Amino acid sequence: MSPRIILDMPERDYHAHPALSSTGARRLLESPARFDYWRTHQQAGKQSFDVGTAVHTKVLGIGAGTVAYPDEHVTASGAVSTKATTIAWAEEQRAIGLTPVAPAQAARIDGMAEAVLAHPVAGPLFERGGHPETSVFTTDEDTGVDMRARFDYLALDENPVAVDLKTTAKCASVDGFTRTVADYGYDVQQAHYMRTLDLGNWSMPFYFVVVESEAPHLVGVHTLDIEWARMGEARVQRALELYAECTASDIWPGYPTEPQLISPPNWLVNQHEDEYGPLHGIEF
């Protein structure tokens, strides 16, 4: 089935769609019960301010913008005033679609966005003639599961590219982002997105642009190698099969009820043996 590509879908409408997202796929792999609870107990909308979202808006040029509180609404310590006039000013800004932020926070957002756009590789990736916040929908042929993805930036012309912008409080280096990919399942995200796009035998590069939240806001541009890609594809296939099975049975299992034997990971065994000697020969 050919994917349906929507360039101007409101974010709220996208997130309200019942098709399986990459976030949902990752929760399914943790536990179908966790996924089922998550999808039936989602909040109507995130009210708290998200620096990452603001950076996306600055870089991609789409979404609700931010505005720094002017000096008259900021205390000597840099905190936002709680006076009635400040509250009224903030409400006026929200009414016109802006999110008021403290000057220090505004400076951080600007610094992160500027670091991305000034980067010699990352900046041009967002100038490839594509579209920001592109929503894609399809039905997976193998499982019949409806899928969705929302690309931060997608170009499908003669120079195709997919770009995902990440902000991190950790490290954007190769080693740092490798750990982040493992922790957050970004291999699953990439595989889910590419499967939703359903390119067949046609391939296109998928870049992760990662910017650090702490100054000087270093930027890393990363692609996942073939091993990461194959791992992600296998995990997405498992998630789709789980979703189809659980939907058909309306049973969303949690963890096994029987006691489970737990073994130490290899790295911990190696660490232990380096400090205490080999484990073999120890009798219990």
More confident site: 196 or 79: 196
Domain-embedded: residue 149? yes
Domain-embedded: residue 273? no
Domain-embedded: residue 278? no
Domain-embedded: residue 283? no
Name the average pLDDT for the chain. 91
CA–CA distance, 180 with 41 (Å, rounded to integer): 26
Neighbours of 143 (CB within 10 A): 18
We report the CATH number of the domain holding residue 120 as 3.90.320.10
Query: Which of 58-72, 170-184, 187-201 has the lowest average pLDDT?
Result: 58-72
For residue 53, the model assigns a pLDDT of 84
Question: In this structure, what are the phi and psi dihedrals at residue 136, rounded to the nearest 5 degrees?
Answer: -130, 135
Residue tagged 């900046």 (tokens): 123
Token pair for residue 156? 């499908």
Q: Each residue of 14-42: pLDDT tens digit?
A: 999 999 999 999 999 999 999 999 999 87
Predicted model pTM: 0.84
Token pair for residue 278? 């080999």
Q: Mark 210-233 as b/e (b = at least 16 C-beta within 10 Å).
A: bbbbeeebbbbbbebeeebbebbb
Query: Which of 115-119, 128-132, 235-239 has the lowest average pLDDT?
Result: 128-132
For residue 283, the model assigns a pLDDT of 60
Cα–Cα separations (whole angstroms), residue 65 to 49, 60, 80, 168, 279: 11, 11, 18, 20, 58
Domain-embedded: residue 277? no
* Nearest Cα to Cα of residue 26 among 178, 240, 250: 240
Domain-embedded: residue 36? yes
Q: Give the domain extent around 245.
A: 4-61+107-249
Domain-embedded: residue 96? no
Number of domains in the chain: 1
CA–CA distance, 17 with 146 (Å, rounded to integer): 10
Share of the chain above pLDDT 90, in %: 69
Give me the torsion for CA of 266, 269, 275, 281, rounded to 10°: -140
Query: Under a CB-based contact definition with an 8 Å cutoff, are residues 37 and 167 in contact?
Result: no
β-pair partners for 168: 212
Domain-embedded: residue 98? no
For residue 67, the model assigns a pLDDT of 84
